[in-house]
Chain A
């Protein structure tokens, strides 16, 4: 090849020279020999390593059968070196990084590669590498390996790398914390793992199914795995199989990684529990609660709604389809409210038929809220079924009407009775007076007079009783008109005092005092007059032979108060409780005349004029009647 002096040969020679130059620059010592040990190529480093003091180009084509023997002295174990070469060349098995120790204390690494051309053994390639250099490379590789292992071990996820047969190639510490188990598992699969740890084979089945899916689709497969700890607590793991393809698209590895999502699941469960409690609360409300979108489509309805409408699930339906009277106005209100800003609507009414077609009257109001996930505006409608309440109110009104009717009947009856009694009473009275007149001059007058006088006074008493009774029945029947106006109550008291109590029948006089600035008050004057007369008369009547009663009237900005105090016989605690009932009189009244109707009328009239009444009394010491009325309407 080198003898042909043609242009082409020159180019080839140039190329050989270039290749030789490049190989000389490689830091390793190279020797390529034919099967017959003829040197095809050797570089400068090889000559230097083995102490051959010639240019490597000179050695090409020479025989190197004895080279091993010639160079063996350089190695710490010369015979082993010679045997090694013979063994390697005989077996033609590749060797990588075989360390050989030199007598100078250093070492080299040896690679051997059998070279074949077109299926025929062509020769042996020997490469001797500088150990220090290689060690630093190997160290760098190991460092990198350590770094990635460290990284993989410390990623907060369990990581396992599988080969395509689903056998473990790598596991990090989070996947398996025990070093021995982790080491043991390499090359094994999940069935081995389940057997080894006593876990159910179903776990391996499940993982295998997802693994095969990842292989089949070439896509990442995600699944959730629930495991139980020794204490029975559930551990939730979200796992993924991520298939890794080589440049030809074949799946060589599958990375499995899992994240512990127990805390997320627990929080979800907690949220669900909270939502359940909230729903329970809303379901237990008496109100019918629905939430709707702006168009009035039901998104949620509580159980109270479902019970009344008879629909187990109303979601997706228009709320208006459940309503009867007032439906159009309801929809107008809903649409108008949806456009507004205010938080809550006014309360209105609408009617609805229940599952049995029974009509219900409901009040409702709307309020708004924002759905957390969608941030959509939602409306909540709170319906209150007031049917029963209205029925009760109607019933009360009916009873009140009936009571009024009864009172009226009683009043009419009393009027009739009093008519019928008046004529015979007149006959008795007039006749008794006539007897008195006729017998006045007779000698028997002294005997008859007390009797006729008694007849006359009893007719008087009966007439008074009848008048009071008639009056009370009129009051009860609401036949006494209530016409409040502003009037001067202080003047009324002063004129009553002058007219009736300066002095009273028995010679005692009422003492009146005024506190505060008298102002006109708003009340029914005839009623106040009657209250005053009744209370003051009582004070005189029930305090015979004792110091005279006193009256105090007091004006404040909003109220006026009346206090009548006597030093009379008083009222027992027992009697005080029943004083405002008809025909009730103190048990200690003795011969003092009365009908037991006065305080009842006082109480009724005070109530009509928004007044309060309070009586304090001590038997034998006296009574105090305190009343308070508003100044303004």
Chain B
């Protein structure tokens, strides 16, 4: 079962999103700000992170940058889930290395299908690289 980490400072949204994804069959962890989220990511090593951008203590972009530097065990799938609905912000997030950038408000069905698709892609990539290693 894939584990997910939701980093979101708005408690209502954090709880509702977690509940929806749990119902979709995922193990869901939550963190209420960037700093806490970074610690949890390093500690729990989830398969996928859903991260807000505008948060107190540490913003979403910084969480991604810090994680890229500090996580030695390979990066999880990283999706921004944000109210910063501008084209420029989206470009910035994707350039930093995020796998997807989802504007708020989002439909649950859309979010679940994105999560599924990104995890499936990641699994394929891992299988590819593993078979290459085996061949070598």
Contact = CB atoms under 8 A, between A and B. Distances in A.
Interface of A: 415, 418-420, 422-423, 425-431, 433-434, 437, 459, 463, 467, 470
B13 to A, nearest CB: 5
Interface residues of B, number: 19
A415 B86 contact: yes
B132 interface: no
Nearest to B106: A426
Contacts of B19: 434
B44 interface: no
B16 to A, nearest CB: 4
B94 interface: no
B83 interface: yes
Main secondary structure of the interface of A (DSSP, over half): helix
B42 interface: no
19 contacts: A418-B85, A419-B54, A420-B83, A423-B13, A423-B83, A423-B104, A425-B105, A427-B12, A429-B106, A430-B13, A430-B16, A430-B106, A431-B12, A431-B16, A433-B107, A433-B108, A434-B108, A459-B105, A470-B85
B126 interface: no
B105 A429 contact: yes
Contacts of A434: 16, 19-20, 108
B23 interface: yes
Contacts of B23: 437
A426 B105 contact: yes
Interface of B: 10, 12-13, 16-17, 19-20, 23, 54, 83-86, 103-108
Contacts of B20: 430, 433-434, 437
A434 B12 CA distance: 12
Contacts of A467: 85
A408 to B, nearest CB: 14
Nearest to B108: A433
A430 B54 contact: no
Nearest to A425: B105
Nearest to A462: B105
B107 A422 contact: no
Contacts of B17: 430
A431 B17 CA distance: 8
B85 A427 contact: no
A426 B86 contact: no
B13 A426 contact: yes
B105 A422 contact: yes
Nearest to B81: A426
Contacts of B10: 423, 426-427
Contact of B85 (A422, A429, A430, A433): A422
Contacts of A463: 105
Contacts of A431: 12, 16
Nearest to B109: A433
A87 B45 CA distance: 180
Contacts of A427: 10, 12-13, 16
